[in-house]
């Protein structure tokens, strides 16, 4: 066994046999969630810890946060760039405080491109495991390149449901022999979600338009269909995603089509677009959405920075996303107040949460 563990090429072959061959004819999630996973993770975990202290490269923000939730942040040597286009996005809006601390101290390199990762950037960090975002095609290509070079890589599913996100947490916990911590993290998520659902169960359902992206030049909105964890967050918070019936996960629609569904609340995710809320409200008023109950009653909410991350990252903090959205949908129930224009961001989002999943 000592000779086998000493050969990166042989280890790469083992990894290919365990994971890559299984991909044929199956979705990534099916591969990662099949009944063989327990055996696979045991073998991978055994090999990993034969190589000594883990040196982890995390290839997505939600993976960063899973690792943080499992107490593994000290082993991260690399993660993805928070501002690849130089738009001025702040570290504190992208990473949680503990990761910011490690990045600023030089313990974590954060220059890897999330959407077009360089093999060299990853290899230069000398990792012994790379956790790859299966939802990004260029990263799946990176995965095969890395294992061909003898670098252990593991595909992490983004998941389309909260239960699938929890599976990814449990899988990573199993890989790093943090099973009990992973289960405790999942239990903490479910406790928060179940509590919120119980609180809103007797409330009238609120019609929600979730604007994942908004384009006033084209008069369109990108929103979420039913087969997304974002739509599930809306449902668990006591809302009705007005495009729950879409067969597409991320449909792009005209504002006129969206307005015809009469949303009572409009949630605008900023995503590093640096929207000016005042200008955006003026533009909304001149669009078909200006005639909706949401606009007329002033129920427009701008979600920025860490608040945005709660709703868009398939990691442990989706449970906080459920609580944050419930406060927006039922402010009287949660004694929540919002200044106008309604902006939730890194500075104030914690005030709407009773407890924190990762802090």
Question: What's the rounded mean pLDDT across residues 31-42?
Answer: 46
Worst-scoring range by mean pLDDT, 101-115, 234-248, 263-277?
Answer: 263-277
In the block, residue with structure tokens 């009653």: 297
Helix, strand, or coil here: 30? helix
Distance CA 319, CA 237 (A): 10
The pLDDT assigned to 46 comes to 54
pLDDT at position 8 over 50: no
Mean pLDDT across 123-140: 96
Q: Is the pTM of this model over 0.85?
A: yes
**Per-residue model confidence as pLDDT tens digits over 60-109:** 999 999 999 999 999 999 999 999 888 888 999 999 999 999 999 999 99
Mean per-residue pLDDT, 109-137: 96
The count of C-alpha atoms lying within 13 angstroms of the C-alpha of 38, restricted to the half-sphere facing its C-beta, is 2
Q: For 6-20, 57-71, 266-280, which range has the lowest pLDDT when averaged over its residues? A: 6-20
Give tens-digit pLDDT for 194-204: 999 999 999 99
Describe the chain by its helix, strand, coil percentages, rounded to 5.
50, 15, 40
Range 309-334 average pLDDT: 98
In the three-class reduction of DSSP (H, G, I as helix; E, B as strand; rest coil), residue 170 is classed as: helix
| CA neighbor of 104 nearest in space, from 90, 122, 84 | 90
User: Which token pair is 208?
Assistant: 């929600």
| Alpha-carbon distances of 37 from 29, 43, 128, 143, rounded to whole Å | 11, 10, 20, 18
Please state, as a whole number, how many other Cβ atoms lie within 10 Å of the Cβ of residue 158.
Answer: 21
Query: What is the mean predicted confidence (pLDDT) over 150-174?
Result: 95
Backbone φ, ψ for residue 274 (5° rounding): 55, 50
Residue 78, helix vs strand vs coil: strand
pLDDT band (50, 70, 90) for residue 278: very high
Q: Has residue 29 got a pLDDT over 80?
A: no
Name all domains of the chain by residue range, CATH numbers in brackets. Answer: 2-156 (3.40.50.1980), 200-352 (3.40.50.1980)
| Mean pLDDT for all residues in the chain | 88
Percent of the chain whose predicted confidence (pLDDT) is above 70: 85
Strands 129-133, 206-211: pairing kind = unpaired
């Amino acid at each position: 066994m000592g000779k086998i563990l000493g050969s990166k090429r042989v280890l790469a072959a083992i990894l290919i046999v365990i994971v890559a061959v299984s991909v044929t004819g199956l979705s990534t999630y099916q591969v990662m969630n099949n009944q063989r996973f327990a055996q696979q993770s045991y073998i991978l975990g055994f090999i990993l810890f034969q190589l000594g202290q883990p040196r982890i490269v995390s290839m997505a923000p939600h993976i960063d946060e899973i690792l943080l939730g499992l107490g593994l942040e000290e082993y991260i040597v690399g993660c993805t760039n928070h501002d690849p286009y130089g738009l001025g996005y702040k570290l504190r809006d992208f990473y949680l405080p503990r990761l910011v601390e490690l990045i600023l101290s030089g313990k974590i390199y954060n220059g890897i491109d999330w959407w077009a990762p360089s093999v060299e950037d990853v290899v230069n960090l000398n990792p012994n495991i790379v956790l790859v975002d299966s939802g990004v095609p260029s990263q799946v290509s990176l995965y095969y390149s890395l294992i061909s070079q003898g670098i252990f890589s593991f595909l992490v599913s983004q998941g389309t449901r909260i239960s699938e996100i929890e599976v990814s947490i449990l899988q990573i916990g199993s890989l790093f022999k943090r099973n009990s911590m992973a289960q405790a993290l999942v239990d903490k998520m479910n406790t928060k979600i179940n509590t919120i659902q119980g609180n809103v169960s007797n409330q009238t359902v609120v019609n929600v338009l979730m604007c994942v992206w908004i384009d006033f030049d084209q008069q369109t909105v990108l929103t979420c269909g039913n087969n997304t964890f974002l739509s599930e967050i809306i449902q668990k918070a006591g809302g009705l995603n007005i495009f729950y019936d879409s067969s597409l996960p991320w449909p792009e629609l005209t504002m006129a089509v969206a307005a015809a569904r009469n949303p009572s609340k409009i949630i605008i995710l900023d995503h590093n677009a640096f929207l000016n809320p005042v200008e955006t409200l003026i533009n909304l008023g001149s669009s078909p959405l200006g005639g909706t109950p949401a606009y007329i009653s002033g129920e427009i909410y701008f979600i920025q920075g860490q608040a945005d991350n709660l709703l868009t990252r398939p990691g442990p903090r989706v449970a906080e996303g459920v609580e944050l959205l419930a406060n927006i949908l039922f402010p009287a129930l949660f004694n929540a107040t919002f200044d106008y224009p309604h902006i939730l961001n890194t500075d104030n989002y914690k005030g709407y949460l009773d407890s924190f999943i990762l802090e």
